[in-house]
Amino acid sequence: MSGLRETVTDVDLVHEAQAGDVHALGLLLVRHQADMRAVALSILGCGPDAEDALQDAVMIAMRRIGDLRDPAAVAPWLRAIVRNACRMQLRAATPIPVEDVETLTFPRGEPDPEELLHGHALRDWVWHAVDELSPRLRLVTMLRYFTDVTAYEHIAQLCDVPVGTVRSRLNQARTKLSQALLATADMAHDDVAAQEKVRRRQAEETLRAARHGSFAQALKDLCSPEVEVTTMKGKRVQGIDWLLGAMNRDLEAGVRQNSANVVVGRDVVIWENSLISPPDDPFHCPPAVIWVNFLQANRVREIRLFHPHRDEDAVCRCCHGRR
């Protein structure tokens, strides 16, 4: 059996992986793991940072395999991803950079229906595996790999745990995720795109309601009556009154929130909202705010708010940062 696998070329494995074959993707990553680890060690040396960078690169490769333009270039493509992941470790506070490998990816044109089908199948498979993680492991994974909250210290702040705990949970998550991905490879999965569409519409309608004076009703529809809100300063309040007051003060100051990204998990939905300051006060607010919405019985039972790009030395005058 191993001899048969060795006769399969990288090009064949890439084509199969891009067509949604999970086992082919796994074999491809195993085949190049030694070279990928060598790149990480050459940049970061022996230690946990090199291993973290390697695992980050594996996650990025899983998400981006469908973008690889030249299957014969998979080896340098993987090494480039590792190098970028290492740079991310060195910079620590920037999002995972993958732009440097764009020259090896497909142009951003309209994909044909077959490409869309394969891409959706791979995405559904990955998200099914993510949902198999425990809630604590699932949250750090969603933040690290699917939002702009990628720095360990920011994830720690949002999860209210030490940085060491974040690292430990991510290591556990990556191990379990690899096992879950292979274990669920041949299973039918829910349509993630449909779930994302519903949750994105919910986010957009809630923010639109704030601009049209019906935010209170929108929050009542969204949240359980005893919803707990953790503010930017770490203060915990119960009910929707704080959210109503903060949003109203922001609107009075000319600040608007727009939905930029929605990440959907089994029991948590993350909103990444852009904050648009008024033209006469362009630095009134940081550029974005994160809402981490924890669900129970399909309603939000807890909300945690966070500014992912806030300059700690700057004075934040928006209402989300006041209390």
pLDDT band at 240 (very low <50, low <70, confident <90, very high): very high
The beta strand positions in 90-222, using DSSP E, are none
Q: Domain holding 137: CATH number?
A: 1.10.10.10
218 and 142 assigned to the same domain: no
Find the domain containing 157 and state its range: 131-190
Looking at residue 317, its pLDDT comes to 52
57 and 163 assigned to the same domain: no
Q: Domain holding 81: CATH number?
A: 1.10.1740.10
Which is more confidently placed, 217 or 184?
217
Number of domains in the chain: 3
pTM of the model: 0.68
Q: How far apart are CA 71 and CA 75, in angstroms?
A: 9
The beta strand positions in the chain, using DSSP E, are 223-230, 236-238, 256-264, 268-276, 288-296, 299-306
Q: Domain holding 252: CATH number?
A: 3.10.450.50
Name the β-bridge partners of 285.
none
207 and 313 assigned to the same domain: yes
203 and 313 assigned to the same domain: yes
- The arrangement of strands across the sheet holding 299-306 comes to 236-238, 223-230, 299-306, 288-296, 268-276, 256-264
Q: How far apart are CA 149 and CA 96, in angstroms?
A: 10
3-state secondary structure of 292: strand
Query: How many residues comprise the chain?
Result: 323
158 and 208 assigned to the same domain: no
pLDDT band at 103 (very low <50, low <70, confident <90, very high): very low
pLDDT tops 90 at residue 209: yes
Lookup: tokens for 45 = 């040396």
170 and 228 assigned to the same domain: no
Q: How far apart are CA 115 and CA 203, in angstroms?
A: 28
65 and 186 assigned to the same domain: no
- Most confident segment among 95-109, 128-142, 169-183: 128-142
**pLDDT of 125-167, one tens digit each?**
677 778 888 999 999 988 988 888 888 899 999 999 999 999 8
pLDDT band at 310 (very low <50, low <70, confident <90, very high): low
257 and 311 assigned to the same domain: yes
- Residue 21: which residues within 8 A CB-CB, separation 6 or more? none
- Most confident segment among 7-16, 19-28, 216-225: 216-225
Amino acid type, 304: R
284 and 268 assigned to the same domain: yes
